[in-house]
């Protein structure tokens, strides 16, 4: 029995109602029922969704259905329904859910349906059916009559080998009044047989079956693009057991805190921190960059990375399900399930398109015979051709396949995009705001200068500064404390207070002391010309300067410096070449900020911004440019990241917050990836439109042919499936965007 298998993905939605599929949209609040997720391997496009909807329509326990065609999952929101009830109803439309997932299936990245190849048996069936159809067609061309017993026998043979599956699905669709592709195909085949066109009937079924197979394979590859990443984490790890010996265990059984070892050339199974050894590690699965990174004691390792030439021992910091790699895969899968705006647009379009075409087809079948006495058989045939051509499968399938490919391409490149929305929006990006500390610069500040005023004792003054700094996590304070040294004694600070965008204050030995920027000093009324004379040259030297002051006078001027990221000027230049305005946003003082900006090639500098002013700056940019991205490290700029149209977090590998708050997370520190993201977004947008144009163009061409009565059924099938294949292949080109 042919083609009934799960491997054939139907060609897409001919369902008149495909637009009501609301995957990824937020559920209305009233839907506070229970949720049940069912994996249905046959669910691959809105055609099936329509059938499922019809099958479950009458169950009053069911409040809402949501379909995920990428994961092939059906989410049922219900009140009081149970699994077996739903399964029974689904069985009536041949959409039986898979058995309950096992634990292994619920691991991150394993929650995809199994790969569904096309078996050799199925290829054999298609080949036999095709040969029979071809011979029949050939004999007719050779002069044999279409109705001759030989031809009919060959056609029937072809149909019974390759067409039963299609006819069966067509029958199910017809019983449920679902106008899907299988129904249309069955109608077309039966129509052709009724009209005595046997070879054509066989040909149509064969072509349809063949195209379905190719499409299934091709969709599958897009679906599983991300799965390749998961395969990167090995399933076993070498663990030091209680007796201190090394043994090989399943990676999923290793708990946090265990010590693992990796040999040269091995893949790292879990996230951890190096406890012993030194080796170069290739972190490409995480960062998309295959440049090896030197790892030694204290440095983080990520599951999926490949160990270089040394042996490393490391302490596990996250279990199998919570490794950075697992989180990346989960994020991409979630992103895939969300609908991009273009997808919604296409769905809405299909809602009007399909009924319109059905109406026109009816007109074609009925009007010429009724009005002009034309033969029914001819015009019914033309109408059938039209229905097959008009199927919007290609249109509806083209967007998800493109977006999914784009998301996967990004993820493989270390650019984690949280939804098709951001990928689509990237094309409209006109301005990017860059945070200074930690984004343009490394964010690892070091104290470079300390100028003591008025003959104060340097040691004493530095101890005061370090004592204040020890209560703050700000990078400037951290640098001052670090240069003082962790072991050296500090003074007790009372009434400590952080002054946002300014500095810190606290009482030491009964006297209020401040450590902060020039603005703070001015506000305290303690600034003097001789202080400014020292301050300004340091600032122009790209250093951040703070002043320690007592209740009545400034005591010392302390400068810290950060290093610009290696690729920063090039990254800014690349953005500019894409027509994007680059702005620097910082709380640091104007002189320092301007010096660094000049170095990076940025003209627009917004310095001395308090956190809420950063937000307002983003809003101002959005008012002027529309779509604006904010790039930060996600540590202290989360509000600005959230406010921007697209919040991009850098160096997201180490920090959970960056992964969570940002719309786009760049796994390493490469600022150049922002431009890559924009290019990927633009390519995605271009392919989306190409696909829509392709689908509509080819369809309208054949619709005109059909209307003129010159198109044949097999042409219609070729046009329909050909277009679907074309848009899938076109969309999948994105997978190789960075190759």
Residues forming the active site? 435
Are 267 and 281 contacting, i.e. CB atoms less than 8 angstroms apart? no
Distance CA 468, CA 79 (A): 58
- Provide the minimum distance between the beta carbon of 293 and ligand ATP in the complex, in angstroms, as a whole number: 25
For residues 140 and 466, which CB has a smaller minimum distance to ligand ATP in the complex? Answer: 466
Coil, strand or helix: which one is 261? strand
Q: Counting contacts by CB under 6 A, is residue 564 touching ligand ATP?
A: no
Which residues, 531 to 590, sit near Zn ion by CB under 5 A? Answer: 532
For residues 532 and 573, which CB has a smaller minimum distance to Zn ion in the complex? Answer: 532
Which residues, 583 to 602, sit near ligand ATP by CB under 6 A? Answer: 586-588
Q: Counting contacts by CB under 6 A, is residue 549 touching ligand ATP?
A: no
Contact of residue 517 among Zn ion, ligand ATP, none (CB under 5-8 Å per partner type): ligand ATP
Task: Give the closest residue to 278 by CA, choosing from 305, 260, 257, 299.
Answer: 299
Tell me, by CB under 5 A, how many residues bind Zn ion. 3
For residues 233 and 466, which CB has a smaller minimum distance to ligand ATP in the complex? Answer: 466
Sign of CA dihedral 671, 673, 679, 685: negative
Contact of residue 651 among ligand ATP, Zn ion, none (CB under 5-8 Å per partner type): none
Q: Counting contacts by CB under 6 A, is residue 544 touching ligand ATP?
A: yes
- Provide the minimum distance between the beta carbon of 586 and ligand ATP in the complex, in angstroms, as a whole number: 3
Q: For residue 643, what are the contacts with CB-CB under 8 A and spacing of at least 6?
A: 615, 618, 619, 630
For residues 395 and 476, which CB has a smaller minimum distance to ligand ATP in the complex? Answer: 476
Contact of residue 169 among Zn ion, ligand ATP, none (CB under 5-8 Å per partner type): none
Distance CA 107, CA 250 (A): 14
For residues 191 and 503, which CB has a smaller minimum distance to ligand ATP in the complex? Answer: 503
Query: Which helix (DSSP H) or strand (DSSP E) does residue 651 occupy?
Result: none
Burial class (CB in 10 A: 0-12, 13-18, 19+), 406: buried
- Provide the minimum distance between the beta carbon of 534 and ligand ATP in the complex, in angstroms, as a whole number: 15
Distance CA 459, CA 450 (A): 11
Query: Cβ of 536: how many Cβ atoms within 10 Å?
Result: 14
Q: Counting contacts by CB under 6 A, is residue 436 touching ligand ATP?
A: yes
- Do strands 627-632 and 646-649 pair parallel, antiparallel, or not at all (unpaired)? parallel
Sign of CA dihedral 623, 624, 627, 628: negative
Determine which residue in the list 402, 477, 653, 730 makes contact with ligand ATP, applying CB under 6 A. 477
For residues 437 and 581, which CB has a smaller minimum distance to ligand ATP in the complex? Answer: 437
User: Which pairs count as long-range contacts for 577-581, CB under 8 Å and 24+ apart, including other chains?
Assistant: 577/675, 578/675, 578/678, 578/679, 579/430, 580/429, 580/430, 580/431, 580/432, 580/678, 581/430, 581/431, 581/432, 581/625
Q: Name the phi and psi angles at 391, rounded to 5.
A: -55, 125
Stretch that binds ligand ATP, among 34-42, 94-102, 433-441, 616-624 (CB under 6 A): 433-441
Q: Counting contacts by CB under 6 A, is residue 515 touching ligand ATP?
A: yes
Determine which residue in the list 113, 503, 554, 651 makes contact with ligand ATP, applying CB under 6 A. 503
Contact of residue 477 among Zn ion, ligand ATP, none (CB under 5-8 Å per partner type): ligand ATP
Q: CB nearest ligand ATP: which residue?
A: 587
Task: Give the closest residue to 331 by CA, choosing from 109, 19, 35.
Answer: 109
Distance CA 41, CA 69 (A): 10
For residues 569 and 722, which CB has a smaller minimum distance to ligand ATP in the complex? Answer: 569
- Provide the minimum distance between the beta carbon of 497 and ligand ATP in the complex, in angstroms, as a whole number: 10
Q: Is 542 left (phi over 0), alpha (psi -120 to 50) or beta?
A: left
Q: Counting contacts by CB under 5 A, is residue 527 touching Zn ion?
A: yes
SS (H, E, C) 392-406: CHHHHHHHHHHHHHH
Determine which residue in the list 636, 645, 684, 724 makes contact with ligand ATP, applying CB under 6 A. 636
Q: For residue 57, what are the contacts with CB-CB under 8 A and spacing of at least 6?
A: none
For residues 226 and 635, which CB has a smaller minimum distance to ligand ATP in the complex? Answer: 635
| CA 306, chain centre distance (Å) | 24
Distance CA 161, CA 1 (A): 7
100 to 139: interface string for Zn ion, x by CB under 5 A: ----------------------------------------
Which residues, 481 to 500, sit near ligand ATP by CB under 6 A? Answer: 498
Contact of residue 419 among Zn ion, ligand ATP, none (CB under 5-8 Å per partner type): none
Determine which residue in the list 423, 476, 600, 630 makes contact with ligand ATP, applying CB under 6 A. 476
Look up residue 564 and give its DSSP letter. B
Determine which residue in the list 167, 226, 504, 718 makes contact with ligand ATP, applying CB under 6 A. 504
- Provide the minimum distance between the beta carbon of 522 and Zn ion in the complex, in angstroms, as a whole number: 5
For residues 50 and 435, which CB has a smaller minimum distance to ligand ATP in the complex? Answer: 435
Contact of residue 527 among ligand ATP, Zn ion, none (CB under 5-8 Å per partner type): Zn ion
Are 671 and 650 contacting, i.e. CB atoms less than 8 angstroms apart? yes
- Provide the minimum distance between the beta carbon of 474 and ligand ATP in the complex, in angstroms, as a whole number: 3
Binding site for ligand ATP (CB under 6 A): 435-437, 472, 474, 476-477, 498, 501-504, 515-517, 544, 546, 586-588, 636
Binding site for Zn ion (CB under 5 A): 522, 527, 532
């Amino acid at each position: 029995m042919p083609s009934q298998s799960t491997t054939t993905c139907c060609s897409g939605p001919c369902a008149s109602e495909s637009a009501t599929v609301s995957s990824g949209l937020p559920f209305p609040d009233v839907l506070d029922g229970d949720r049940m997720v069912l994996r249905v391997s046959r669910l691959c496009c809105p055609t099936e969704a329509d059938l499922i909807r019809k099958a479950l329509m009458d169950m009053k326990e069911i409040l809402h259905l949501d379909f995920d065609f990428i994961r092939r999952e059906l989410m049922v929101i219900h009140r009081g329904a149970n699994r077996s009830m739903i399964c029974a109803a689904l069985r009536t439309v041949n959409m039986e859910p898979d058995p309950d997932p096992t634990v292994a299936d619920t691991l991150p990245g394993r929650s995809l349906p199994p790969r569904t190849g096309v078996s050799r048996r199925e290829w054999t069936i298609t080949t036999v059916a095709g040969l029979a159809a071809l011979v029949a067609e050939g004999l007719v061309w050779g002069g044999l009559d279409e109705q001759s017993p030989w031809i009919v026998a060959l056609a029937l043979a072809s149909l019974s080998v390759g067409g039963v599956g299609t006819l069966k699905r067509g029958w199910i669709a017809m019983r449920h009044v679902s106008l899907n592709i299988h129904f249309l195909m069955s109608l077309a085949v039966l129509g052709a047989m009724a009209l005595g066109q046997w070879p054509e009937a066989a040909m149509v079924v064969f072509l349809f079956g063949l195209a379905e197979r190719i499409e299934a394979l091709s969709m599958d590859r897009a679906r599983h693009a991300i799965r390749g990443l998961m395969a990167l984490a090995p399933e076993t790890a070498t663990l030091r057991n209680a007796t201190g010996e090394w043994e090989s265990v399943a990676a999923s059984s290793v708990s946090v805190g265990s010590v693992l070892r990796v040999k040269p050339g091995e893949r790292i199974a879990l996230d951890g921190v190096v406890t012993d050894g030194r080796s170069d590690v290739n972190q490409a699965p995480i960062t998309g960059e295959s440049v090896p990174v030197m790892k030694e004691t204290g440095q983080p390792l990520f599951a999926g990375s490949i160990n270089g030439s040394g042996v490393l021992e490391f302490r596990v910091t996250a279990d199998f399900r919570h490794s950075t790699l697992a989180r990346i895969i989960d994020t991409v899968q979630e992103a895939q399930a969300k609908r991009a705006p273009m997808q919604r647009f296409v769905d809405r379009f299909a809602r009007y398109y399909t009924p319109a075409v059905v109406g026109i087809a009816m007109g074609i079948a009925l009007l010429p015979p009724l009005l002009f006495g034309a033969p029914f058989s001819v015009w019914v045939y033309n109408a059938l051709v039209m229905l097959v051509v008009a199927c919007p499968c290609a249109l509806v399938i083209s967007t998800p396949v493109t977006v999914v490919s784009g998301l996967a391409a990004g993820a493989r490149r270390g650019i984690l995009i949280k939804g098709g929305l951001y990928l689509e929006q990237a094309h409209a990006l006109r301005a990017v705001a860059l945070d200074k500390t930690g984004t343009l610069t490394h964010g690892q500040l070091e104290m470079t200068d300390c100028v003591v005023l008025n003959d104060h004792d340097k040691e004493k003054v530095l101890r005061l500064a370090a004592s204040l700094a020890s209560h703050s996590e700000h990078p400037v304070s951290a640098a001052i404390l670090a240069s003082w040294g962790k072991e050296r004694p500090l003074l007790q600070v009372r009434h400590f207070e952080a002054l946002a965008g300014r500095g810190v204050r606290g009482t030491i030995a009964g006297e209020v002391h401040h450590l902060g920027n020039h603005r703070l000093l001015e506000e305290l009324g303690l600034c003097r010309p001789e202080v400014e004379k020292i301050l300004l040259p340091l600032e122009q030297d790209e250093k951040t300067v703070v002043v320690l002051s007592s209740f009545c006078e400034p005591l010392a001027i302390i400068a810290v410096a950060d290093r610009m990221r290696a690729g920063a000027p090039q990254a800014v230049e690349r953005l500019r070449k894409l027509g994007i305005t680059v702005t620097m946003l910082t709380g640091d003082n104007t002189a320092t900020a301007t010096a660094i900006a000049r170095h990076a090639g940025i003209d627009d500098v917004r310095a001395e911004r308090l956190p809420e002013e950063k937000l307002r700056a983003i809003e101002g940019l959005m008012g002027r440019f529309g779509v604006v991205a904010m790039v930060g490290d996600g540590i202290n700029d989360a509000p600005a990241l959230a406010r921007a149209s697209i919040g991009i977090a850098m160096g997201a590998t180490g920090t959970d917050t960056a992964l969570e708050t940002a719309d786009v997370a760049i796994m390493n520190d490469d600022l150049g990836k922002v431009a890559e993201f924009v290019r990927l977004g633009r390519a995605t947008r271009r392919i989306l439109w190409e696909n829509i144009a392709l689908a509509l163009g080819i369809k309208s061409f054949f619709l005109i042919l059909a209307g003129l009565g010159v198109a044949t059924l097999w042409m219609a099938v070729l046009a329909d499936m050909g277009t679907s294949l074309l848009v899938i292949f076109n969309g999948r080109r994105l997978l190789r965007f960075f190759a």
